[in-house]
Amino acid sequence: MTDHGLFGPSSVTWQLHAEPAMWLAGIRGLYLQALHPRAVAGVVQNSDFRGDPLGRLVRTANFVGATTYLTTEEARREARAVREVHRRLRVTDRETGERYRVDEPELLLWVHCAEVSSFLAVVRRAGFPLTAAHADRYLDEQRRSAALVGLDPDEVPGDVAAMRRYLADRRPELRRTEDADEIYDFLHRPPVRGTLALGLAVYEPLVGHLGYSLLPRWATELYGRRPYPDPVATAMLRGLSGTLRVAQRTARALVREPRLGPLQPHPVLAVRRLGTWATPSAKRLP
């Protein structure tokens, strides 16, 4: 029997995670994650994002793609490798001196919720035709992703109402810190060199600041930096997503920049494995 993976071609996740707006959603998720002082300290103290500017973005994208589109065992193997890395990492609270693990359940839950709520919010805002029932089903499906990183699925918000309550409950803990400012600056202008640096003039307004502007208003108020007005951000998001969607359909080869990872085209590999019937599409939404 063919293994369709953790979600399969009949899931909302399968269709949503192939959308090009996911790139901006991932960046929005990183801005949101960085407002949690304990979570962002774990990134700043343990990640080589300064020396490998795009590595974290690509590794995150590859992990989401792998757990969505690879076989069940391959997805679990990827998750075991990530859990093993996290198990060894420690963080020091700059204010109290407390040492803690990056894989504390509270922190894992925050990272998961900031990520998947961003995926859902941005892809919907980009015009992907999700109903309220689709949105609830997506968050319920994403409990399987949460289980991969060591969370109890029953403790993870599984619908839109539960996710809203969770994010509202966390807001008193969130604030702008020096670490959050470092992530803000990094996501606006990653310290890339060579030919990649030539694209920063386009990247910063079209990706860095647009991703920031897709945050909820309360989050941009915590950062204290002005986002694009909502109508402008939505128009830019939909225009960029439409352009990338056309490029996805017409591209015949993946351009590989050696410093990018490389980025793996997991939806393409899944279709090669299962057949063209499994091609992600809004028409396949359940």
For residue 6, give the DSSP letter: T
Statement: residue 175 has pLDDT above 90? yes
Residue at 259: amino acid letter: R
Statement: residue 68 has pLDDT above 50? yes
Looking at residue 202, its pLDDT comes to 83
Q: Grade residue 274 by pLDDT with cuts at 50, 70 and 90.
A: very high
Instruction: Please say whether the beta carbons of 34 and 235 come within 8 A.
Output: no
Looking at residue 183, its pLDDT comes to 95
Instruction: Please say whether the beta carbons of 211 and 57 come within 8 A.
Output: no
Mean pLDDT of 57-80: 91
Residue at 245: amino acid letter: R
Range among 60-74, 94-108, 155-169 rated most confident: 155-169
**Phi/psi class of residue 71: alpha, beta or left (left: φ > 0; alpha: ψ in -120 to 50)?**
beta
Tens-digit pLDDT profile for residues 180-215: 999 999 999 887 777 767 677 888 898 999 999 999
Mean pLDDT of 246-256: 52
Statement: residue 105 has pLDDT above 50? yes
Closest CA to 213 of 185, 199, 234: 234
Give this prediction's pTM: 0.91
Q: How far apart are CA 177 and CA 6, in angstroms?
A: 37
Q: Grade residue 284 by pLDDT with cuts at 50, 70 and 90.
A: very high
Per DSSP, the three-state class of 156 is: coil
When mean pLDDT is compared across 16-30, 220-234, 259-273, the lowest value belongs to 259-273
Q: How far apart are CA 134 and CA 123, in angstroms?
A: 12
Statement: residue 154 has pLDDT above 50? yes
Statement: residue 147 has pLDDT above 50? yes
Please report where in the chains the tokens 């969370």 appear, as a residue. 151
Q: Where in the chain are the domains?
A: 12-284
pLDDT greater at residue 25 or residue 46: 25
Statement: residue 153 has pLDDT above 50? yes
